[in-house]
Amino acid sequence: MNSQEQIPRIGEELEEARRDLRETLTQVNHKVKLTEEKLSPEHLIKDRPIIASSLAALLGFLSGSSSGGSTIAAFAIGALLVSAFRARSSSE
């Protein structure tokens, strides 16, 4: 094949690569948008109101707590809530 025959073939390959890249970028952008929506605070609170309210209560408890023993209990409760949240999220 001489260079004159290769130029149109290379141009077609380049255009096909551009189309593939556009398609891939469209798919990536769609996945990013879905992930942003899934991880938004509004979505998390709407989908898991019990966990959200428990975490809010825990934060209120921690901010109002003055003794060290209750802080340890609050961290234990928080750890339980986080593990429950992760177990539920992984099952979905």
pLDDT tens across 7-19, in order?
Answer: 889 999 999 999 9
Distances (CA, A) of 79 to 14, 33, 64, 83, 90: 53, 30, 19, 6, 16
Q: Are residues 53 and 89 in the same domain?
A: yes
Q: In which domain, by residue range, is 10 found?
A: 1-39
Statement: the pTM of the whole predicted model exceeds 0.75: no
Q: Are 77 and 58 in contact (CB under 8 A)?
A: yes
Structure confidence at residue 7 (pLDDT):
87
Q: How far apart are CA 82 and CA 62, in angstroms?
A: 16
Residue type, 21: L
Q: Are residues 45 and 7 in the same domain?
A: no
Q: Are residues 91 and 58 in the same domain?
A: yes
Q: Are residues 82 and 45 in the same domain?
A: yes
